[in-house]
Structure 1
Amino acid sequence: MCSFERLIFRFLVLLVVCAKAGLGTTVGCVERERQALLRFKHGLVDDYGILSSWDTRDCCQWRGVRCSNQSSHIIMLHLPAPPTEFVYEYQSLRGRPIPPFLASLTKIQHLSLSEANFTGRLPNQLGNLSNLLSLDLNYNFGLLSENLEWLSHLFSLTYLDLYSVNLSKAIHWSQAINKLSFLIHLNLGYCSLPPLTTPSLSLSPVNSSAPLAFLDLSENYFDSSIYLWLFNFTTTLVHLDLSWNAHLNGSIPDAFGNMTSLEFLFMYGNQLQGSIPEAFGNITSLEQLKLDENNLEGEIPKSLRNLCSLQELTLRSNNLSGQLPQVLDLLACANDTLEYLFLSDNQFTGSVPDLIGFSSLRALYLGYNQLNGTLPKSIGQLTKLRVLDIGSNSLQGAISDAHLLHLSQLDRLDLSSNFLTFNMSSEWVPPFQLNSLILTSCQLGPRLPNWLRTQKQLGHLDISNSNISDVIPDWFWNLTARIYDFNISKNHITGTLPNVSSKFDYPLYIDMSSNYLEGSIPQLPSDLAWLDLSNNKFSGSITLLCTVANSYLVYLDLSNNLLSGELPNCWPQWKSLTVLNLENNEFSGKIPKSFGSLQSIQTLHLRNNNLIGELPSSLKKCKSLSFIDLAKNRLSGKIPPWIGGSLPNLTILNLRSNKFSGSISQEICQLKKIQILDLSGNNMSGTIPRCLNNFTAMTKKGSLTITYNFSLYYADGGFQDWSYVDRELVKWKGREFEYKNTLGLVKSVDLSSNKLIGEIPKEVTDLLELVSLNFSRNNLIGSIPTTIGQLKSLDVLDLSQNQLIGEIPASLSEIDRLTTLDLSNNDLFGKIPQGTQLQSFNASSYEGNPTLCGPPLLKKCPGDKAEGTPNAYSYEDDIQQDGNDMWFYVSIALGFIVGFWGVCGTLLLNNSWRYAYFQFLNKIKDWLYVTTTINMARLWRTLQS
């Protein structure tokens, strides 16, 4: 292949020839232009035969060549490459700058250098091309320009596409754009443009008469200041894209209602807040409105009933609310035009209404809301529907063939995570051929649905947790050729797996975990990317895994099976492997040295096997490792110092219950990101390093989860995003608990059950976010650090079975989160500090310290008043008095309840009693009045006489 410079030169020769061509009539193409094309052809590698027609006399008939009907001169050359060839071309041009002499073509009107992967500075000499009508530089991710002033010389420009050109320093870009009076199409997407500065804003458009119709400002860093410039084009804009601007927040201005020519408005992927403006109802020409992935809230404005031309409404991933039937009623005006409706991941409530009026609907996304009720059978009348996604709601009832009766074009069906039961006849034949079927947590079983065998185009199949207790029939494997995402986990599927190496054609996600599958692991597809066979009954060796010889494999989980034998030695072929989980099996032998070739590995779970030997030094090459769990094996030797220096990203290190010996190296303190360190249950000796305060991740609050995200790209150009949330068994309060969704919050140091000596380093009290600290069952001496009270987040503290001396620090009583405390079996003395926290623990937390005294221990401290004296202290008396006081107040409360509600409650509930009661009160009142009057009269007469 010729050099890039020669290729460009020959192509420019061709352009110059075309530009300087004379007038007149010629039969066929001009010979010198034909020769220029042939020289151009010879400089290319044409593996796909795109230029195979370039061998006849008349070059105007060649593929991609267009000639003038009047002069026969070549006026256009258009040679789009297929995707695979484009990849090679893309690589071959990497790092090349745009030649400055391109600016010498002063008569050129249309210049497109898109997708050529040019890099370097955009030459300002392009401003010399004053006759340009269109300039297209999109998808050149290495280009940059610090100043767009040269644009102001392109007076005739109507089309400008700078998508992906780095304009992060071109702060006065708007002033240059303002001078383009004829600009119709402007694409500045993904240009890293900053917010408009005050000087830029003060210079409003010099010529606001530009007929700008298409404007793409997506994927930049604009904030709300962009509106001041934008609203100068309210009368002309037809297409406006403000999506994915990281700093665009606040409410949406009502001024958008003045853009009455808009047909396409995209504002998704921002930080917009507040409600959807009523003013949107003024944009009656809107065909597509996309506001998804913001923080919008409230109900859908009633003014949207004016949008009768709406074809697509995308509001997913917000906090919008309201009754779904009312929302759809607002869209009734567009029921003949609406094709795509995205309302998923909001807070809409109510039932799914009758949608039969929306006859044009092609995609309906209602997942992740709060919908209830049943699915109406009328949905089966939406004959154009291609996507039906109502997953993750609270729908219930049965799904019959009537629900899917006329959906012949259906391509994606997602009814997952509801309370739905499929009730199809065994002879039912679906009218559709699905690409994606997601029925997680629907009731499909106990047999695999027979109608599945008709689906020959499946690419994504998820029927996990669907109550299937079948043996996988042979016909099922005939469906898998096109599948790239395959999930039948969390069922009761039994039997063995056949050789599936030839059953799948694509890099695969396979999840068959949590079933009752048994036998050996079969030969698997060579293009496997994600394999989860955990929680089954597989047995035997895993040597057949070595047939998966590719760089796609990123996730392998075979945990909780009956697998045995030594680990194979084919790890170097899995360069992309990120998560490896082989825990809870019966593997034996040493950890292979070839593990060191796993350059992408981040998580390594090998706990609870029969592995022996030392940690291979090759693991130091795994720089990305953040999670190592080798607990409950028979590993031995020293814990290598290189763990601290070579694995800087290590977050969790669990080597518990092995046979490691030797001292804890000072180098371990280099693990600044460590959050869980468990070396318990070994034969470690020596002192605890004083540098534990270098564990800086234990001094800060962490995120909830430890998550890895993966993007897998397929040969057909598609890709799939997957994520994995790590989990770990943590010994907590004497038991093991699994943490997953809150694992990132667990900060723990456990060095228990070793042979450590020396004092507890006071530096450990600098780990302010420490949640669990366990130094028990060692030979530690000295006192408990007086600064222990700094650990305000501490929930578990176990220092038992050591040789600690001295008093319990008073600061310990200040840790109000402490729920588990064990200081037993030491030589602590003195009085247990006063405070409700330390007195709330059981006496067993302090036992085995002969000279320790004070509650909750029964032993009195010297100086306490003797029993029997007038004010003698008695802990039991306090408890008894507290009990008596409690029953006294309980009796008062019960008396009030019985007395008050026994009378008043009866009168409230019984009309006749209430009437009799008040009659009785009236009679008493009258009797008292008459009696008092008579007696007063008698007394008066007596006094007068």
Structure 2
Amino acid sequence: MKSTMSVFVALFFLELFTLANMVNLSFCTGNSYVGCIDSEREALIKLKQDLIDPSNRLASWVGDGDCCKWAGVICSDLTCHHLIHLDLSGNNFQGIQIPKCLGSLKNLRYLNLTAARFAGKIPHQLGNLSNLQYLDLSDIKLHVDKFSWPSGLSLLEHLDLSRMNLGKASDLLPVTNSLPSLKTSHMSNWVKIYHKVTGLGGCHISGHLTNQLGQFKCLHTLELRDNSLSGPLPPALGELSSMTNLDLFSNTLNGAIPMLNGTISEIHFVNLTKLTSFSISENSLILQVNPNWVPPFQLDTLHLRSCHLGPHFPSWLHSQKHLSVLDISNTRISDTIPRWFWNSISLYESLNLSSNQIYGEIPNFDHPLPLVPSHGVLDLSNNAWSGSIFHLICKGENELANIDGYLKLSKNYFSGDIRDCWVNWPNLVVLNLGNNFFSGSLPISIGNLSCLQLLNLRNNRIVGIIPVSIQNCSNLNGLDMGENEFVGDIPA
């Protein structure tokens, strides 16, 4: 019995040893490494022959060596020889076309050609890369007439065609919508599909948005900025219930976004419950807002610049508890700012209310001016504000100490002496107080603005000498003090 058991144990460990060797071979360790296969090495050599490489970044692509060790090349960890990763990004291929032979690398899963200075049309042979999961063709001067070539890339998860000319690719959306694995697609200059994501910004796209948008039920982000889209927003926009980021910035969209209440509001917004970022700036859209409307979403970013939002200040903003970036400049608002808005103003990282007809005084409330530690913006310029601003500027020394941003108050009716509290603002980059009724002398603490690049005090009632401390503003490259009552010279 004991002998039988010993034989069994011996056989067990023999099989275990054999299995371990098989695993060792499978994961390419020890002496089992064989390098890349000949056909893929030859394909890379052929590819190099078709390329112009003035920077000699492909110098390692020579001879009979192991192509898995060549620059930009990665082979499979499992097989040790199949080429699965090719990164040629950032090269200068001097405007040649993408070589068709790339389509012969059938095992590729990752292909990155971003900013590689290719030009011309995308070769349809890229559609042969049936194992491809990641494709980046962004930042190169390519154009597309027909977009049928990716239709066979069933494993593709990430597609980036940003800043490509897709103006003639009428089949773009149907093809991208048919790719079953697509999670992220960037096509800035047309539509940015995070199939979850769609980015087509800056892709020279024109025409109207249609109700076909409603097909993208899983779309999280839609970026169509910097194109030539026109016409009204389609009702199907409201069907994108997974949408978190909608960016239609800088097109020629027009017409009315209907009353945002009851049945009509459901057409465009009622299902957009996950929306956190909304940008329709630089269009001609009319936002006809019911003052009692409560949006179904909570935004952190809202850009409505140059849309028609006024004449009243949008009361529905009262429901938005997480807004940190708000741009409602040039939106035809002719109104005062309600107290509830000022009470939440400290939450904003960037606030632009410029180029409206907003009037009244800024209240004297407890918290300091709401700029942020990094690249903050407060732009109240080109309105009809009046009274003093310095009860805010001169509060909260500790909270303002790291502000790095822009304070723009020009073209209003602000008044009062310029107070000596600029020691609180050492990191301010732009200070524009021009075309107001500020008075008094320029305080010595203006010299504490050592990061200041632009100072505009034009057309006020400031008097006296310019303090020598202004020499400490060593980064200043724009200075306008005209139309005041200064005496003496600017300190050199």
TM-score scaled by length of structure 1: 0.40
Q: How far apart are the structure 2 equivalents of 1:589 and 1:497?
A: 20
- 1:326 CA displacement: 2.9
Partner of 2:318: 453
Q: Are 1:375 and 2:233 an aligned pair? A: yes
1:623 is matched with which residue: 462, 465, 474? 474
Q: How far apart are the structure 1 equivalents of 2:66 and 2:57?
A: 19
Partner of 1:361: 219
Paired residue secondary structure (1:434): coil
Q: Are 1:316 and 2:176 an aligned pair? A: no
- 1:303 CA displacement: 0.9
2:448 is matched with which residue: 593, 597, 604? 597
Q: Are 1:583 and 2:451 an aligned pair? A: no
CA 1:276 to 1:589, structure 2 compared with 1: closer, same or farther past 3 Å? same
- 1:367 CA displacement: 1.1
Alpha-carbon contact 2:118-2:141 (below 8 Å) kept: yes
**Which region of structure 1 is more displaced relative to structure 2, 629-638 or 341-350?**
629-638
Alpha-carbon contact 2:387-2:415 (below 8 Å) kept: no
Partner of 1:339: 196
Alpha-carbon contact 1:305-1:332 (below 8 Å) kept: no
CA 1:339 to 1:156, structure 2 compared with 1: closer, same or farther past 3 Å? farther
Partner of 2:136: 290
- 1:460 CA displacement: 1.8
CA 1:293 to 1:460, structure 2 compared with 1: closer, same or farther past 3 Å? farther
Alpha-carbon contact 1:313-1:341 (below 8 Å) kept: no
Aligned positions, number: 417
Q: How far apart are the structure 2 equivalents of 1:367 and 1:379?
A: 16
Q: How far apart are the structure 1 equivalents of 2:439 and 2:292?
A: 50
Deviations 1:861-881 (A, max 9, x none): xxxxxxxxxxxxxxxxxxxxx
Partner of 1:514: 382
State the one-letter code of the partner of 1:629.
D
CA 1:356 to 1:286, structure 2 compared with 1: closer, same or farther past 3 Å? farther
Alpha-carbon contact 1:322-1:349 (below 8 Å) kept: no
- 1:342 CA displacement: 0.7
CA 1:348 to 1:639, structure 2 compared with 1: closer, same or farther past 3 Å? closer
Alpha-carbon contact 1:436-1:460 (below 8 Å) kept: yes
CA 1:512 to 1:637, structure 2 compared with 1: closer, same or farther past 3 Å? closer
Paired residue secondary structure (1:284): coil
Partner of 1:808: none
State the one-letter code of the partner of 1:342.
G
Alpha-carbon contact 2:250-2:282 (below 8 Å) kept: yes
- Structure number with greater CO (CA < 8 Å, separation at least 6) is 2
State the one-letter code of the partner of 2:175.
L
**Which region of structure 1 is more displaced relative to structure 2, 453-462 or 551-560?**
551-560
1:348 is matched with which residue: 205, 229, 234? 205
State the one-letter code of the partner of 1:514.
N
Alpha-carbon contact 1:497-1:522 (below 8 Å) kept: no
**Structure 2 counterparts to residues 31-42 of structure 1, below 5 A:** none
Identity %: 35
2:103 is matched with which residue: 229, 237, 257? 257
Give 5+ residue unaligned stretches, structure 1. 1-132, 134-153, 159-193, 213-227, 525-541, 644-945
Q: Are 1:277 and 2:137 an aligned pair? A: no
Q: Are 1:207 and 2:62 an aligned pair? A: no
**Which region of structure 1 is more displaced relative to structure 2, 435-444 or 233-242?**
233-242
Deviations 1:306-348 (A, max 9, x none): 233444433233443226x532123242267432111011201
Paired residue secondary structure (1:486): strand
CA 1:232 to 1:599, structure 2 compared with 1: closer, same or farther past 3 Å? closer
- 1:568 CA displacement: 2.5
Give 5+ residue unaligned stretches, structure 2. 1-26, 34-53, 183-194, 259-264
Deviations 1:753-811 (A, max 9, x none): xxxxxxxxxxxxxxxxxxxxxxxxxxxxxxxxxxxxxxxxxxxxxxxxxxxxxxxxxxx
Partner of 1:403: 268
Partner of 2:300: 435
Paired residue secondary structure (1:343): strand
Partner of 2:457: 606
Q: How far apart are the structure 1 equivalents of 2:127 and 2:422?
A: 60
Alpha-carbon contact 1:444-1:466 (below 8 Å) kept: yes
Q: How far apart are the structure 2 equivalents of 1:265 and 1:411?
A: 32
Paired residue secondary structure (1:274): strand
Q: How far apart are the structure 1 equivalents of 2:483 and 2:84?
A: 66
Partner of 2:150: 304
State the one-letter code of the partner of 2:247.
D
Partner of 1:387: 245
Partner of 1:695: none
1:491 is matched with which residue: 356, 360, 363? 356
Paired residue secondary structure (1:513): coil
Question: Could you say what the CA RMSD is over the residues aligned between the two structures, in angstroms?
Answer: 3.6
Paired residue secondary structure (1:495): strand
State the one-letter code of the partner of 2:100.
D
State the one-letter code of the partner of 1:436.
T
Alpha-carbon contact 1:567-1:588 (below 8 Å) kept: yes
CA 1:289 to 1:413, structure 2 compared with 1: closer, same or farther past 3 Å? farther
- 1:230 CA displacement: 4.8
Q: Are 1:196 and 2:56 an aligned pair? A: yes
**Structure 2 counterparts to residues 418-429 of structure 1, below 5 A:** 418-429=283-294
Deviations 1:615-645 (A, max 9, x none): 44333333322223232334334566xx3xx
Q: How far apart are the structure 2 equivalents of 1:297 and 1:512?
A: 42
Q: How far apart are the structure 2 equivalents of 1:614 and 1:270?
A: 56
Partner of 1:633: 484
Q: How far apart are the structure 1 equivalents of 2:248 and 2:114?
A: 21
CA 1:488 to 1:588, structure 2 compared with 1: closer, same or farther past 3 Å? closer
Partner of 1:568: 419
Q: Which has the larger radius of gyration?
A: 1
Partner of 2:11: none
Alpha-carbon contact 2:378-2:406 (below 8 Å) kept: no
CA 1:443 to 1:330, structure 2 compared with 1: closer, same or farther past 3 Å? same
Paired residue secondary structure (2:149): helix
**Structure 2 counterparts to residues 647-662 of structure 1, below 5 A:** none
State the one-letter code of the partner of 2:56.
L
State the one-letter code of the partner of 2:479.
I
Q: How far apart are the structure 1 equivalents of 2:57 and 2:155?
A: 37
- 1:490 CA displacement: 1.9
Alpha-carbon contact 1:491-1:515 (below 8 Å) kept: yes
CA 1:288 to 1:358, structure 2 compared with 1: closer, same or farther past 3 Å? farther
**Structure 2 counterparts to residues 679-718 of structure 1, below 5 A:** none
Q: How far apart are the structure 2 equivalents of 1:404 and 1:303?
A: 35
CA 1:546 to 1:440, structure 2 compared with 1: closer, same or farther past 3 Å? same
Paired residue secondary structure (2:121): coil
Q: How far apart are the structure 2 equivalents of 1:469 and 1:404?
A: 26
CA 1:289 to 1:388, structure 2 compared with 1: closer, same or farther past 3 Å? farther
1:473 is matched with which residue: 334, 338, 355? 338
CA 1:498 to 1:256, structure 2 compared with 1: closer, same or farther past 3 Å? farther
Paired residue secondary structure (2:340): helix
Q: Are 1:557 and 2:415 an aligned pair? A: no
1:236 is matched with which residue: 68, 82, 91? 82
Q: How far apart are the structure 2 equivalents of 1:327 and 1:333?
A: 10
CA 1:477 to 1:378, structure 2 compared with 1: closer, same or farther past 3 Å? same
Q: How far apart are the structure 1 equivalents of 2:116 and 2:399?
A: 42
- 1:598 CA displacement: 2.6
CA 1:546 to 1:260, structure 2 compared with 1: closer, same or farther past 3 Å? same
- 1:566 CA displacement: 4.2
Alpha-carbon contact 1:311-1:339 (below 8 Å) kept: no
CA 1:634 to 1:381, structure 2 compared with 1: closer, same or farther past 3 Å? closer
Q: How far apart are the structure 2 equivalents of 1:502 and 1:610?
A: 28
Deviations 1:88-123 (A, max 9, x none): xxxxxxxxxxxxxxxxxxxxxxxxxxxxxxxxxxxx
- 1:390 CA displacement: 1.6
**Structure 2 counterparts to residues 754-765 of structure 1, below 5 A:** none
